[in-house]
Amino acid sequence: QAVLTQPPSVSGAPGQRVTISCTGSSSNIGAGYDVHWYQHLPETAPKLLISANFNRPSGVPDRFSGSKSGTSASLAITGLQAEDEAEYFCQSYDRSLGTYVFGTGTKVTVL
Amino acid sequence: QLQLEESGPGLVKPSETLALTCTVSGGAIRGSSHYWGWIRHSPGKGLEWLGSIYSSGSTYYKPSLQRRVTISVDTSKNQFSLKLRSVTAADAGVYYCARHPGIVGSNLDYWGQGTLVNVSS
């Protein structure tokens, strides 16, 4: 099972702000490992959206932002646009498992 | 722009070996100082890292799969491959290849679009 917990779905109207949580434990996020976020559209390659908790790779709009606190992290999308409708998942590393770990995934719907 | 593309059979029989290849274009594996890995998404377990190989050939596997997984690289073809032995229905899912800069705590900065593998007789 995916080790990091995310809400199955979030929705918002165009222009609104939505947030997605990613909850882990003391062996992954709480141990200080970075959290990374990805956007995944059907039939396409997942795209790195936020690297190392809050860094946006080149080309990622600044309406996407990340944060981390304790054993959790969050992805915020401000000024929601129709093209943001996709699945989003988080990723970190777990020292007990000795593996990369992923979130359960969140489907964002633009109303 | 780096691109990765998975290829291989979409159907594998139970107890047989799943074999997939990832072809990299837009950049060379040899001397890249990156890791090249395999991730799968299955209904039962969600996204799961299976293992990775460094450009020099060093391998790293998910501990629970270590006995069944082999990842290899062919720098002459700019490809790396996954073999998963003794598959069961639980191994069905979408398999992705990806690149990552480090082995602990790194992001996965480039992914393939995935290939669906079913396990059935």
| B31-84: pLDDT as tens digits | 888 999 999 999 888 999 999 999 889 999 999 999 999 999 999 999 999 999
B82: amino acid identity, one letter: L
Could you tell me whether strands B93-100 and B79-84 are parallel, antiparallel, or unpaired per DSSP bridges? unpaired
pLDDT 10s digits, B7-26: 999 999 999 999 999 999 99
Show the tokens assigned to B81: 């491959």
Asked if residue A87 lies in contact with residue A45, where contact means CB atoms within 8 angstroms, the answer is: no
SS3 B74: strand
Inter-chain residue contact B49 with A92, CB threshold 8 Å:
no
* Residue A5 to chain B, least CA–CA distance (Å): 11
CA-CA distance, A67 to B112, in Å (whole number)? 27
Interface test with A, best of B36, B39, B107 (most A CBs within 10 A): B107
- The interface residues of chain A toward chain B in range 78-97, judged by CB-CB distance below 8 A, are 89, 91-93, 97
List C-alpha distances in Å: B28 to A13, A57, B111, B115: 43, 21, 15, 22
Q: Minimal CA–CA distance to A89: which of A16, A9, A30?
A: A9
